Structure 1
Amino acid sequence: MALVPSSLPDKYPPLPDDKFPFKEPPPVVITPCDPWPPPYYLEDGLRKVKPYHFTYNTYCKQRWRGREILDIFASEFRDRPTEYYEKAIIEGRVVLNGKPVPSTKTIVKNGDIISHTLHRHEPPSTAKPIGIVHEDDDLIVIDKPAGIPVHPAGRYNFNSVIEIMRADRGYGWNPLPCNRLDRLTSGIMFIGKHRQAAEDMSAQIRERTVKKEYITRVVGEFPEGEVVCEKPILQISPKLGLNRVRANGKEARTVFKRLAYYPPKDDKEEPVAQNGEHHPGMAWKKMRGYSIVRCFPITGRTHQLRVHLQYLGHPISNDPIYANQRVFGPSLGRGHSEEEDDEDIMTRLSRMGKEDIADAVAYHDEMVDQYNKRKAEKMTGETCSVCDTPLYSDPGVHELGIYLHARRYHCEEGKWDYETGLPEWALPPPGYEGATELTKESDPLAVDLKKLGLEDDHESRDQQGQANAVKNATKTDTTSDEPVAASAGA
């Protein structure tokens, strides 16, 4: 299969007063074919995509500058082994600025464009439809199902909110997300129908004039009353999607309030294996029951709620990363803010989905039947007959999301308010009484930021942030620090 260079843009001569003459951007490679409609099919509660060829193009990210091209692929992407990327570079499936790469040791510089053409195998996503909460001439407010990423990224392209909505409404329609949720998270999202609407809503969210509420289900008995976590968060591994509490991380602040606590049905000892020994994956059963917790993020860091809940000792019950005893040990990372064991944690985490199944998924969810507990996405040992890519088994439906739902977004000025009901996993289990909905009359848990002393501080940080934005606008480097390390072909 030959790589196809894209046509060059029209050349514009520099204006007489230009000090820096116009410079052509580097050439890129285009996808050999663009299948339409997308090759979807539904099977066993999953939306699947038939394999197809695809070309990733991405500018050099700031953290890639001055590094060897093979080192970038090997350290940033976990979809394929280093040997695959080495062979792809040598055989010309990876090119730099539209030209073959002379060596796997070629240094990538600022402004370079990396193109990677591959036979793409997308993971399945949930077959649940994208819910519509509200729609007008400017915006669509959706209820995103868990298990679907917002943008094409990593191993996902057609199995993303953007492409699923485009497939439903037509090839020429361009949905413009105004906010982003993690792939594993469900709930409220805003899709702009045109650029101005998307920019207006995105600006509201950036300026923190939009209040957000999430609902989650966590391990153990969460404390009553307002719990404020102000620990900074640092990205530890973009490849593994791992973030931790660290003193040198970015400022992060969340308010939590417990909605309900559901203790175990009895006081029996924890289960034992048939040989009479305690299963090491069941130690956290001692934490007794689970809580439904409301989360009010003041800042918006990647994995903020998941990391703060883990630090507090109450990780999300089925979180395959932060509630994983095989990775973090019996304490599940409670109160941990040191970096001395980061390498060990990353090594153990990298095995999940390859040799091991995350024990948060495998053992500890009462709502998952025994068959689905055994069923999980992991390498099968087989390879694709076209490209020799290692193949994965289908994930169980229970693996497609975690117990985290963006329940409500509302304008601080009272202009609009959108919410969903409680997800099924947040309702009282059989035999228990508890909240089934949140209303102004029945809900005494509204968070008062001024009462907690956060409102004034929040406003001063906004002013400082605006000052920093003006300062940073003069810099030539506009590379985003968001952990989207997938455009070059994970």
Structure 2
Amino acid sequence: MALVPSAPRDKYPPLPDDTFPWKEPPAVAITPCDPWPPPYYLEDGLRKVTPYHFTYNTYCKQRWRGREILDIFASEFRDRPAEYYEQAIVEGRVVLNGQPVPSTKTIVNNGDMISHTLHRHEPPCTAKSIGIVHEDDDLIVIDKPAGMPVHPAGRYNFNSIIEIMRADRGYGWNPLPCNRLDRLTSGIMFIGKHKQAAEVMSAQIRQRTVKKEYITRVVGEFPEGEVVCEKPILQISPKLGLNRVRANGKEALTVFKRLAYYPPTARDRTSQQEELPGETDAQGQPWKKLQGYSIVRCFPVTGRTHQLRVHLQFLGHPISNDPIYANQRVFGPSLGRGHSESENDEDIMSRLSRMGKEEVADAVAYHDEMVEAYEKRKAERMTGENCKVCDTPLYSDPGVHELGIYLHARRYRCEEGKWDYETGLPDWALPPPGYEGLAESMKESDPLAVDLKQLGLEDGEEGGKDAEPMNGSAKAQLDAASDTRTAVSSVV
């Protein structure tokens, strides 16, 4: 018997009244252009990306629920002014669940997908290569360069650890980060080669069976001995990346130990008199009275966002090249020392919002280290020019001094002794010319490490997910040991 083709059938046969029982879901916007390989090019020590068209797809975050769509864009994203987002919604470049948005006042609800198509301009990142500390069949342990974000986020996509490694190893390879560092932070990170390996390592980190240690360089002469800072941290502005010590914040605990102090040289003191025009605070005082710097070892017991940066600022010794927390134009001559009240938050956010736009994000280290005037002015800020394709305001390239801060994840180790990975000290942590000081990695017999073990304290992760609160037993042991260490109240 011969085979004959059958007539096509409707996917959903009509009901007697010619209605369909189910409505097709709206199509979700997809990236209209996904260039491969990524359009990288290297220039002046920077990894750059040629602008390209791209569609952001993101589900409604918890803090967005019940808010107007224009309010979300205007308050959460700093890249473009509110007028741009309003026009994008009206013209259909922003859609909700694949459908045009009826109004800029449309409410966004849980489960909604927001899509935004635009001509994407990625900021440059460092051209330094990603260091490989260890690699096996399951994991790659990398030494992350400063100035390179881990995941595509915000203005960054191809200029991220994930996409750079994918470009190096092939489009089909899917690197799976097991921990996260801030974009400005360098150091140890774990990349899973497959899902099972990533889940195992991530579980170890969540269970606090991994000990972490950071090295930083801070303003001034940090106190000797162990300094414990137990101050809660609250997110003030997700748009600006600002976090502060607040009584109603999340519990946070960090242990610090000074490794070295380097006072200012005679040359530094002389250069203090060579102040650049206009670089004084409102009281006519120098932006920063030179006082040298310290190299400090950090053990975060909890893992709040910006925990080390915020605690160091609160103690009066911010990371000396931190563009947020060591910025005198934002926090004034005191650099936010001991601040825990909210009365100045609006002024601080207003001043911080101008950094990188109308003003250079100028940390105190640029004065302490005698950076030449032209280098200080070579910083990311709006140029006043617009893109010829999309009319987006363009930014200048960041200076080398903006690509990272003096914060390095130096060592990660398993408390059971199964593995231990570390890097050498960064160049900025080595003794300056004419000084003697720490030039090698620290040994396991360090008194702070022994003391932490006795206290039963467990490390957290700077910039990672919120960790569980410290248990009462650990707190009691810490209180009992308070007579042997410097309390926060005596430092501030």
Tell me, what secondary structure is at the counterpart of 1:349? Answer: helix
Paired with 2:196 and 2:24, the residues of 1 have a C-alpha distance of 29
Paired with 2:314 and 2:239, the residues of 1 have a C-alpha distance of 21
Alignment-derived partner of residue 340 in structure 2: 337
Deviation at 1:149, TM superposition (A): 0.2
Instruction: Report the CA distance shift for 1:336/1:443 in structure 2 as closer, same or farther (over 3 A).
Output: same
Alignment-derived partner of residue 280 in structure 2: 279
Deviation at 1:454, TM superposition (A): 4.0
1:229 aligns to 2:232 (yes or no): no
Alignment-derived partner of residue 76 in structure 2: 76
Kindly indicate whether the alpha-carbon contact (under 8 Å) linking 2:65 and 2:108 is maintained by their aligned counterparts in 1. yes
Alignment-derived partner of residue 33 in structure 1: 33
Kindly indicate whether the alpha-carbon contact (under 8 Å) linking 2:320 and 2:365 is maintained by their aligned counterparts in 1. no
Paired with 1:220 and 1:325, the residues of 2 have a C-alpha distance of 15
Alignment-derived partner of residue 371 in structure 1: 374
Kindly indicate whether the alpha-carbon contact (under 8 Å) linking 2:79 and 2:155 is maintained by their aligned counterparts in 1. yes
1:393 aligns to 2:409 (yes or no): no
Tell me, what secondary structure is at the counterpart of 1:30? Answer: coil
Counterparts of 1:75-224 in structure 2 under 5 Å? Answer: 75-224=75-224
Paired with 2:278 and 2:173, the residues of 1 have a C-alpha distance of 58
Paired with 1:284 and 1:324, the residues of 2 have a C-alpha distance of 10
Paired with 1:24 and 1:197, the residues of 2 have a C-alpha distance of 38
Alignment-derived partner of residue 351 in structure 2: 348
When normalised by structure 1's length, the TM-score is 0.86
1:309 aligns to 2:312 (yes or no): yes
Structure 1's unaligned 5+ residue stretches are: 1-10, 12-21, 465-490
Deviation at 1:397, TM superposition (A): 1.2
Paired with 1:296 and 1:338, the residues of 2 have a C-alpha distance of 26
1:432 aligns to 2:449 (yes or no): no
Instruction: Report the CA distance shift for 1:348/1:439 in structure 2 as closer, same or farther (over 3 A).
Output: closer
Deviation at 1:26, TM superposition (A): 6.1
Kindly indicate whether the alpha-carbon contact (under 8 Å) linking 2:269 and 2:290 is maintained by their aligned counterparts in 1. no
> What CA RMSD, in Å, does the superposition of the two structures yield over aligned residues?
2.5
- Equivalent residue letter for 2:252: A
Superimposed CA distance per residue, residues 183-207 of structure 1 (whole angstroms, 9 cap, x where no aligned partner): 0000000000000100110111111
Superimposed CA distance per residue, residues 284-304 of structure 1 (whole angstroms, 9 cap, x where no aligned partner): 643510000000011111000
- Equivalent residue letter for 1:101: V
Alignment-derived partner of residue 383 in structure 2: 380
Deviation at 1:440, TM superposition (A): 2.2
Paired with 2:269 and 2:133, the residues of 1 have a C-alpha distance of 43
Alignment-derived partner of residue 58 in structure 2: 58
Kindly indicate whether the alpha-carbon contact (under 8 Å) linking 2:263 and 2:293 is maintained by their aligned counterparts in 1. yes
Kindly indicate whether the alpha-carbon contact (under 8 Å) linking 1:216 and 1:404 is maintained by their aligned counterparts in 2. yes
Kindly indicate whether the alpha-carbon contact (under 8 Å) linking 2:78 and 2:240 is maintained by their aligned counterparts in 1. yes
Kindly indicate whether the alpha-carbon contact (under 8 Å) linking 1:327 and 1:348 is maintained by their aligned counterparts in 2. yes
Kindly indicate whether the alpha-carbon contact (under 8 Å) linking 2:378 and 2:398 is maintained by their aligned counterparts in 1. yes
Deviation at 1:33, TM superposition (A): 1.6
Deviation at 1:371, TM superposition (A): 2.9
Deviation at 1:278, TM superposition (A): 7.6
Q: Rg bigger for which structure?
A: 2
Moved more, 442-451 or 26-35: 442-451
- Equivalent residue letter for 1:329: G
Moved more, 57-66 or 442-451: 442-451
Deviation at 1:119, TM superposition (A): 0.3
Superimposed CA distance per residue, residues 454-486 of structure 1 (whole angstroms, 9 cap, x where no aligned partner): 469xx994679xxxxxxxxxxxxxxxxxxxxxx
Paired with 2:273 and 2:280, the residues of 1 have a C-alpha distance of 6
Counterparts of 1:226-305 in structure 2 under 5 Å? Answer: 226-266=226-266, 268=269, 271-272=272-273, 279-280=280-281, 283=286, 285-286=288-289, 288-305=291-308
Superimposed CA distance per residue, residues 185-230 of structure 1 (whole angstroms, 9 cap, x where no aligned partner): 0000000000010011011111111110000000000001111111
Instruction: Report the CA distance shift for 1:282/1:387 in structure 2 as closer, same or farther (over 3 A).
Output: farther
Kindly indicate whether the alpha-carbon contact (under 8 Å) linking 2:302 and 2:469 is maintained by their aligned counterparts in 1. no
Paired with 2:52 and 2:270, the residues of 1 have a C-alpha distance of 51
Tell me, what secondary structure is at the counterpart of 1:174? Answer: coil
Superimposed CA distance per residue, residues 135-177 of structure 1 (whole angstroms, 9 cap, x where no aligned partner): 0000000000000000000000000000000000000000000
Moved more, 263-272 or 380-389: 263-272
Kindly indicate whether the alpha-carbon contact (under 8 Å) linking 2:279 and 2:287 is maintained by their aligned counterparts in 1. no
Counterparts of 1:479-490 in structure 2 under 5 Å? Answer: none
Moved more, 73-82 or 437-446: 437-446
Deviation at 1:28, TM superposition (A): 1.5
Kindly indicate whether the alpha-carbon contact (under 8 Å) linking 2:126 and 2:145 is maintained by their aligned counterparts in 1. yes
Alignment-derived partner of residue 359 in structure 1: 362
- Identity of aligned pairs, percent? 86
Tell me, what secondary structure is at the counterpart of 2:451? Answer: coil
Paired with 2:121 and 2:409, the residues of 1 have a C-alpha distance of 29
Kindly indicate whether the alpha-carbon contact (under 8 Å) linking 2:26 and 2:99 is maintained by their aligned counterparts in 1. no
Paired with 2:315 and 2:157, the residues of 1 have a C-alpha distance of 35
Alignment-derived partner of residue 321 in structure 2: 318
Kindly indicate whether the alpha-carbon contact (under 8 Å) linking 2:52 and 2:119 is maintained by their aligned counterparts in 1. yes
Paired with 1:209 and 1:218, the residues of 2 have a C-alpha distance of 28
Instruction: Report the CA distance shift for 1:460/1:134 in structure 2 as closer, same or farther (over 3 A).
Output: closer
Instruction: Report the CA distance shift for 1:25/1:296 in structure 2 as closer, same or farther (over 3 A).
Output: farther
Paired with 2:241 and 2:436, the residues of 1 have a C-alpha distance of 37
Paired with 1:53 and 1:81, the residues of 2 have a C-alpha distance of 19
Paired residue total: 442
Paired with 2:162 and 2:216, the residues of 1 have a C-alpha distance of 25
Deviation at 1:452, TM superposition (A): 4.7
Kindly indicate whether the alpha-carbon contact (under 8 Å) linking 1:220 and 1:314 is maintained by their aligned counterparts in 2. yes
Kindly indicate whether the alpha-carbon contact (under 8 Å) linking 1:244 and 1:307 is maintained by their aligned counterparts in 2. yes
Paired with 2:32 and 2:308, the residues of 1 have a C-alpha distance of 41
Instruction: Report the CA distance shift for 1:455/1:129 in structure 2 as closer, same or farther (over 3 A).
Output: closer
Deviation at 1:272, TM superposition (A): 3.6
Kindly indicate whether the alpha-carbon contact (under 8 Å) linking 1:284 and 1:330 is maintained by their aligned counterparts in 2. yes
Kindly indicate whether the alpha-carbon contact (under 8 Å) linking 1:263 and 1:288 is maintained by their aligned counterparts in 2. yes
- Equivalent residue letter for 1:146: A
Paired with 1:139 and 1:235, the residues of 2 have a C-alpha distance of 33
Paired with 2:346 and 2:385, the residues of 1 have a C-alpha distance of 29
- Equivalent residue letter for 2:320: S
Alignment-derived partner of residue 404 in structure 1: 407
Deviation at 1:359, TM superposition (A): 2.2
Tell me, what secondary structure is at the counterpart of 1:446? Answer: helix
When normalised by structure 2's length, the TM-score is 0.85
- Equivalent residue letter for 1:348: R
Kindly indicate whether the alpha-carbon contact (under 8 Å) linking 1:270 and 1:285 is maintained by their aligned counterparts in 2. no
Paired with 2:374 and 2:416, the residues of 1 have a C-alpha distance of 49
